[in-house]
Structure 1
Amino acid sequence: MRTRRHWTEHGLAFVAPFFAFYALFLLWPLALGLKMSLGSDNITGQGGEFVGFDNYAEALKDPDMWSSLWNTLWFTALSTVPLVLTGLAMALIAHHLRFADWLWRLSWFAPFLLPSGVVGLLWLWIIYPSDFGLADQLLDTVGLHPGIGWLTDERYAMLSIVGTTLWWTVGFNFLLYLAGLQAIPRHLYEAAELDGANAWQRLRRVTLPMLRRTTGVVVILQLLASLKIFDQVYIMTRGGPDESTRPLLLYVYEHGFTGYRIGYASAASYLFFALIVLISLLQLRFTRRARQENAV
């Protein structure tokens, strides 16, 4: 009875199921993946010998891994800023709409609910580099003959994936910013209007400062989401042309499930995991320092 009361008083009985699932579906796979990264595990069940850090050393020496990492970082740099700014602009517009505002909010958020396979195939049909593609057909009807290889030209393939991702996922950032706008007290705007502030000044002096924490959350989530890009590339380009759009996760997939080298793929994925953790910590430190400077 005393032991049962001890568990209940400290809430351990309520959090025990969560910790059980957390250990089973997160901690155990992490530990198992780390173990496989130190061995020569093969998807066919062969191998399994301990090789230490040889997989990590091989991955760090592989130029294909570095090129895949560069593609991942390049996509992150190209997509993060437009996704954050577009989400903010859409939220500002929807927040001030007075006619059918629910329709605008639904239509802007709806693409985010689509599965990645549907989005990839949809945009593959739109920008297919031939007369079959809807984009080329529309340009042809207005007298333009672009002849652009949207997904077959290295100059445009990554930009096409960025555009697809922008259309697909900006609704999530839009929703976060809209919630942040609705949480801003109305009396701040009324006080600014009494002081003679125009719309631009209210945006700079009231709206954006009050959305600073929301922006920090949006940027962190967007960075993590962009770094983990896989679905769009796999469906639309398979990493081409000439591996110019292959992200690191596709590199891991190819070595793990096509090359059957689970141990090596695990090592590459853990190197990528360490990079994501480092970027997250730097972003959190930057955000914390900015808050302290603003507080002073």
Structure 2
Amino acid sequence: MATKRLPPSLVPTSGVGVSHWGHALFIAPFVLVYVALLVVPLVRGMYLSFFEVDALSGDSTFVGFDNFVQLAGDAVFRGAVFNTFAFVLMTTPAFVAIGLALALALKQAGLLRAGLRAIFFGASVLSVTIVTLVWRLVFMTDRGLLANLMRAIGLDPVNPLVDPHLALPAVALVTVWWIIGLPMMLFLAALQQIPQDVYEAAALDNASRWRTFRSITLPAIRRTLALVAIIEVIAQFQLFGQVQLMTLGGPDNATRPIVQFIFEAGFNQWAIGYAAAAAQVLFGLMLIAVVVQVRVASRKEAA
């Protein structure tokens, strides 16, 4: 009995065909841009961190790990590392907690939901220049909103931006107010994916709100919780614009973060190799923080 042969165009082929290379062309522009703008500068920065570079002449001298040793003994850099970690610890939990609380409230907001979303998300689209200008006016000692409120309750006006103990928390407050819209929208999208019949079943079992939140809501959005935490850790380690425009790292270096230290070392002192070494330290700290966050989130998910 003769077998029916398929046309050549319908015969399956094995291995990597030409069409697979055609598919790769769709991602080629992204890969090229990614390599040019991220991978190449990263590798170049690692290379420069082992050199003392003259930015004017372009000459460089290999110094090995001397830049890193000098950073370890630099009190200003150690203070910048402390300020950066303190800022991340102030803001990241606030983004998670407040963002989730706002999302839960907006999920039940009814007719006002769209308007409230726009109000809370509106600040996120503002530039750092506008945000810092507005808050500097709020913190003005003479006629600022904060000063007027303090006078109204019988307290002497204080500008937190000139107090070494209050300046960094004030910058953290401004940052949370500015960016809280993004975590809120991520949590809101996750909450809307939870089937409503699960809550109805919990209500039939007379489950309390706290038990419903702990047993249904939190497990359902645990991936979003981890995502928001990782995004904000990475973002807040790169603190720069708010401090540069509000305090210039002061008072008494109380708000100087690592990125501002890198900027000043590279563009004010022209110590390119020293700045590159500080950038590698920042990269390492961010990488460690993200790995720890991912490991903690994966353990919670497995449990």
TM-score range, shorter chain: over 0.9
Deviation string, structure 1 residues 138-197 (Cα, Å, up to 9, x no partner): 433x25342323111112111111110111011111011000100111111011111111
CA distance in 1, matches of 2:302, 2:153: 56
CA distance in 2, matches of 1:133, 1:115: 21
CA distance in 1, matches of 2:159, 2:31: 50
Match of 1:275 among 269, 273, 285: 285
Aligned residue number for residue 13 of structure 1: 25
What TM-score comes out, normalization by structure 2 length? 0.90
Alignment partner of 1:137 is 2:140: no
* AA at the equivalent of 1:78: M
* AA at the equivalent of 1:20: L
* AA at the equivalent of 1:263: G
> Secondary structure of the residue that 1:229 maps to in structure 2?
coil
Alignment partner of 1:193 is 2:203: yes
Deviation string, structure 1 residues 196-248 (Cα, Å, up to 9, x no partner): 11333222221122111111111111111121111111111111110011111
Deviation string, structure 1 residues 60-105 (Cα, Å, up to 9, x no partner): 2212111110010011111121221110110000000112210000
CA distance in 2, matches of 1:203, 1:290: 16
Deviation string, structure 1 residues 269-291 (Cα, Å, up to 9, x no partner): 10110111111111111111221
Greater Cα radius of gyration, structure 1 or 2: 2
* AA at the equivalent of 2:229: V
In structure 2, runs of 5+ residues without a counterpart are 1-15
C-alpha contact 2:142 2:157 (8 A) present in aligned 1: no
Q: CA RMSD for the aligned pairs? A: 1.7
Match of 1:233 among 214, 220, 243: 243
5 Å matches for 1:74-85?
A: 74-85=86-97
The Cα shift of 1:58 comes to 1.1
Aligned residue number for residue 10 of structure 2: none
Aligned residue number for residue 90 of structure 1: 102
What TM-score comes out, normalization by structure 1 length? 0.92
Match of 1:50 among 37, 62, 65: 62
C-alpha contact 1:252 1:265 (8 A) present in aligned 2: yes
* AA at the equivalent of 2:224: T
Aligned residue number for residue 181 of structure 1: 191
CA distance in 1, matches of 2:190, 2:174: 26
Identity %: 33
C-alpha contact 1:7 1:13 (8 A) present in aligned 2: no
Aligned residue number for residue 46 of structure 2: 34
C-alpha contact 2:165 2:254 (8 A) present in aligned 1: no
C-alpha contact 1:43 1:256 (8 A) present in aligned 2: no
CA distance in 1, matches of 2:241, 2:21: 46
Size of the aligned set, in residue pairs, is: 288
> Secondary structure of the residue that 1:23 maps to in structure 2?
helix
Note closer, same or farther for the CA distance 1:210–1:257 as it changes in structure 2 (3 Å cut): same
> Secondary structure of the residue that 1:241 maps to in structure 2?
coil
Aligned residue number for residue 292 of structure 1: 302
Question: Structure 1 residue runs of 4+, over 6 Å off?
Answer: none
Aligned residue number for residue 102 of structure 1: 114
> Secondary structure of the residue that 2:162 maps to in structure 1?
coil
Aligned residue number for residue 221 of structure 1: 231
CA distance in 1, matches of 2:180, 2:24: 39
Higher mean Cα deviation, 206-215 or 105-114? 206-215
C-alpha contact 2:187 2:224 (8 A) present in aligned 1: yes
In structure 1, runs of 5+ residues without a counterpart are none
